[in-house]
Structure formats: structure tokens, C-alpha cells
A and B are shown apart, each in its own frame.
Chain A
Amino acid sequence: MNIGVLALQGDFEEHSICLRKLGVKVREVRLPSHLNGLDGLIIPGGESTTIGKLATDYRLVDPILEFAKSGSIWGTCGGLVLMARDVGMRQPILGLIDMTVERNAFGRQVDSFEENLEIENLQGGPFRGVFIRAPRVTRVGSGVKVLCQLKDGSIVAVRQGRFLATSFHPELTDDSRLHAYFLEMISNRD
């Protein structure tokens, strides 16, 4: 299996390390040609404004949307923001998942936190969620499945078909269950 990690800015290296541990081939994606032949793509955490601008300047937006017609995509934190249809401000986004997202929804860095999460269909007990200036999902369309909510009801993980998005950073933990879940999503798709 070939998985790409969008390597414009952010913690793409941490995702690559997680994926290699699971035995898949990883490619850093910086230009449109780097998408060829991939089965899945991860959009990492980072600053969504920075990643969006670099994707626009290097004409990656349309090729990613083309890839999305058959490929699987997972966005973490800033990546979740980029996958949304509406983020309440003007910045380049992909609009892949029918959801509205609030950026920096829990406050500034001093409010960043860790929390144990119950994630739907994820076996093996709670998952340690690392939330850093994290976004939350404030609205989902009818085709979107909510996989995880905080105790206050904030939606922090969703799936729509081949697309997965999480507010938190599994790549900053030693727990590879969500990376394995993403790979399984790719193996099981029609």
C-alpha cells in the first residue's frame, strides 16, 4: 500500500514514522505529480492557512480533489480544517466533508489539552487525544458519521465514506490504532 503525507508544512514527519511502523510505503507530497499511484493521503497538523496557501500556489488543490474521487483522505487538526466545507472565514479549503468547523475552538495554546476518548468501533480501550489549538466540528451533513465527541458534546472525529477527520493528533502518541483504522478503510473500500 502507498500512502502519501502532504508535506507542505506541519508534523508530516510524525505521520510518516507512524505509517512506516505499520509497514506501509510512505511518500511526502509537495507537488501534484507526487500524488500519482497513491492509495491514501494524510493531511497533517500544522497551520491550515499556511498549508492552504502553499497548496494553492503549487496548484495542488484540483489534483487533490481529483485524487479524492477514488482515493482515501485523512486530515488531523489543521488537516480537518482543510477538509471542511465551511470554516467561518476566508481561506483556501478543500470542502471534502459536509461539515462546518470552528478553528481554535478551545482557545489559545494555554488551553491546549489531553483527554481520554471513546472512539466508535475502535477496540482496545480509550484513545489518548492530544488537542493543540484544536478545531471542533459544529455541524455535520446527513452523510457524515460522528465517531467521537467530548463530554461537552464537541464533535472531534468524523467519517464520510472514504474521508476521515480528527481534531486531535494520533501521530503525537505511540498509539497506532487510528493509523491502522485508516489503512483498513483503504483495504475495505470497493
Chain B
Amino acid sequence: MEKGTETVKRGHAQMLKGGVIMDVVTPEHARIAEDAGACAVMALERVPADIRAHGGVARMSDPELIAQIMASVTIPVMAKCRIGHFVEAQILEAIGVDYIDESEVLTPADEQNHIDKTKFNVPFVCGCRNLGEALRRIAEGAAMIRTKGEAGTGDVVEAVRHARSVIGEIRRISAMREDELAAYAKEIGASLDLVIETAQKGRMPVVNFAAGGLATPADAALMMQLGVDGVFVGSGIFKSGNPSARAKAIVKAVTHYNDPQILAEVSKGLGEAMVGIGVTQLAEGERLAVRGW
């Protein structure tokens, strides 16, 4: 019996495909998310919109809170640790979370190194803005990738930018010769082996989700049509007027992302969406997506 293999780590993310992973801050939120059809939840003390508002240093959540959320649902529970903070990751693995998000939403603990994720049995998801960043994270052992987007804004523009960049680059390298791939790998700072594997498959070797600023069923379906495998919705659900209705609608929108009739139906009467912050209004220092190396 072999545990913690690449196949079971990457495979768990494959089970989440076509699904919605929702940020929750209480066991009650987690149950609402599960009832709405979330395929997993992200257990947090504060959703990204509140992390922005609160300021200061954002750290791993209290293990007690994460354990309570784990006890309240049967679906997988993820939790975030700071970039490079491998001890927070060890603690999350010790309490048995199903996935760790090494996340730019928290304050980075290391400005040069990410966690060596191959050392863990628990799988990791990491954010990216482009293919080079994604493949660097995979080389470090990430078993799942997501766009960074700009968390806590309700503005989908950065998630679109990052998904288009990653997926567009994959289309581009799929047409390259092998000698061109070598130069390309050097240019984007990624391993040649991973670049070749991605070019041959026409996709990354791990699952790729959208995250960061999604707030509506239409946002979720937009990301799916651009070619991601599933979506994270953070502040967009529990910062809205009717979380349960919005959560259910986003779940349906991800399954039926190519069916405008169903998308129209599920978008009706959801109440207020979260109050957004336009990404262009953010000062450079307030942007979370630039964190990560």
C-alpha cells in the first residue's frame, strides 16, 4: 500500500473537476456550501475581502476552527498556508486537511522560496499568473494549479487575464518544435521536461482551476468556457445577499457552462452580488497576485 504518490495527489484534484470550491469561515457556512453542491470547501478565519479590509499580517487559520469545519461536512476540506511557510503546512497536514493552498492571499513568509511540496503526503494547490509560474509550482510538487486572479475584489478581470495567459501559452507551445521548446523553457524559467510534457499533452500535467474575483454564475461559466477545469469562489458567495441561492446557482453554472438557457435560468433573482472593488482602483501594494516567485 503506497500513500502520498503523485497519482493519488494529482488524482484527488481530478475528482474535483467540474466543481466549485467555496471559501467558508464557520461550520455553518461549510454545511450551506455542501448542501449547495460544493465539491470541496476552503476553511478560513476570514474570506479574502475581509483580509483586505482587516489589513495586517494574514496567517494560517486556527487549527481548531479548521478541525470544526472538517467535522461538519463529508466533502474535502482545504486550508491555506503562507507562501514558503512549510511549518504551517506541516501543521495542516498533521490535522488531516485534504488539500493545502500555498496562497498569496496570506502574507508571504519567504520572499524567495516556495514550499518543497514533494516532502508532503497531503497534496498542494498553488496560484499562477502565467505558464512559467504554473510549471515552477508543479516542479516543486504542486498537484493542482489555479489562477491567482485578484482575490477579495469581486472583479474577474485578473482571473481572465491569468487563464488566457496560461491556456494561450499552452496552445502556442503545442505548435513548437522541440528545439524551440528548449529556448521557450529558458525564457519562462520552467523545467524543459514539464514544458515538453505540457506541449505534447496540450494541457498541464495537473488540474487547473480558476480563482480570484469570481462573483456570479456568469463569471464561473466564463472561466469554464475559457478552458479551466473548475472554479474557486472565495468572498463572492458569503459576501453576497443570498449565499445559499448564489452557491447553488454557481454550482449549476459550472456543470452547464455551455448552455446559455440554463445559465440564464440560474442567474435569475439571486439578490445582491458582493460589493466589488475594481482592480484598476487598487494601488500596486494592495495587489495580492504579485506575491509568489
Partner of A115 from the list B1, B4, B16, B76 (CB cut-off 8 Å) is: B1
Determine if A115 and B2 form an interchain contact, defined as CB atoms under 8 angstroms apart: yes
Q: How many A-B residue pairs have CB under 8 A?
A: 121
Return chain B residues, CB-CB under 8 Å to A47: 15-16, 19, 39-40, 75-76
Known A-B contacts A9-B255, A109-B99; the reply to A46 vs B18 at CB < 8 A is: yes
Residues 11-44 of chain B, each 1 if its beta carbon lies under 8 Å from chain A, else 0: 1101111110000000000000011111110000
Known A-B contacts A49-B34, A49-B74, A109-B12; the reply to A114 vs B5 at CB < 8 A is: yes
Asked if B245 CB lies within 8 Å of chain A CBs, one says no
Q: B35 — nearest CB in chain A belongs to which residue?
A: A53
Q: Report A178 CB to chain B, min CB distance, Å.
A: 16
Determine if B3 and A54 form an interchain contact, defined as CB atoms under 8 angstroms apart: no
Q: Measured between alpha carbons, how far is A45 from B19 in the docked complex, in Å?
A: 12
**Range for the number of chain B residues in contact with chain A:** 35 or more
Known A-B contacts A103-B74, A110-B121, A111-B3; the reply to A49 vs B8 at CB < 8 A is: no
Selecting from A67-75, A125-133, A157-165, the interface stretch reads A125-133
Known A-B contacts A30-B256, A54-B251, A110-B122; the reply to A132 vs B17 at CB < 8 A is: no
Interface residues of B in 237-293 (CB under 8 A from A): 251-252, 254-256, 259
Q: Report A61 CB to chain B, min CB distance, Å.
A: 15
Return chain A residues, CB-CB under 8 Å to B74: 49, 89, 103-104
Return chain A residues, CB-CB under 8 Å to B37: 9, 49-50, 53-54
**Range for the number of chain A residues in contact with chain B:** 35 or more
Asked if B98 CB lies within 8 Å of chain A CBs, one says yes
Asked if B152 CB lies within 8 Å of chain A CBs, one says no
Interface residues of A in 17-56 (CB under 8 A from B): 30, 45-47, 49-50, 53-54
Q: B229 — nearest CB in chain A belongs to which residue?
A: A13
Partner of B17 from the list A9, A111, A133 (CB cut-off 8 Å) is: A9
Interface residues of B in 103-126 (CB under 8 A from A): 121-123
Q: Measured between alpha carbons, how far is A78 from B14 in the docked complex, in Å?
A: 12
Asked if A181 CB lies within 8 Å of chain B CBs, one says no
Return chain A residues, CB-CB under 8 Å to B19: 9-10, 46-47, 50
Partner of A57 from the list B15, B99, B252 (CB cut-off 8 Å) is: B252
Q: Measured between alpha carbons, how far is A112 from B2 in the docked complex, in Å?
A: 8
Asked if A108 CB lies within 8 Å of chain B CBs, one says yes
Return chain B residues, CB-CB under 8 Å to A103: 74
Return chain A residues, CB-CB under 8 Å to B98: 108-110, 133
Return chain A residues, CB-CB under 8 Å to B140: none
Asked if B45 CB lies within 8 Å of chain A CBs, one says no
Return chain B residues, CB-CB under 8 Å to A78: 15
Q: A111 — nearest CB in chain B belongs to which residue?
A: B3
Return chain A residues, CB-CB under 8 Å to B93: 110
Which of A's residues lie within 8 Å of B, judged by CB?
Answer: 7-14, 30, 45-47, 49-50, 53-54, 57, 77-78, 89, 103-104, 107-115, 130-133, 169, 172-173
25 pairs of residues in contact across A and B, judged by CB atoms under 8 Å = A7-B255, A9-B19, A10-B17, A10-B18, A11-B15, A30-B259, A45-B14, A46-B17, A49-B75, A50-B19, A108-B76, A108-B98, A109-B12, A109-B122, A109-B123, A110-B3, A111-B3, A112-B4, A112-B8, A113-B2, A114-B1, A130-B7, A131-B8, A133-B98, A173-B7
- 6 closest A-B pairs by beta carbon, nearest first, are A109-B98, A112-B8, A47-B39, A11-B14, A9-B18, A53-B37
Other than the known A10-B15, A47-B40, what 12 A-B pairs have Cβ atoms closer than 8 Å? A10-B18, A47-B15, A47-B39, A49-B74, A53-B35, A54-B252, A108-B97, A110-B98, A110-B122, A114-B7, A131-B8, A172-B11
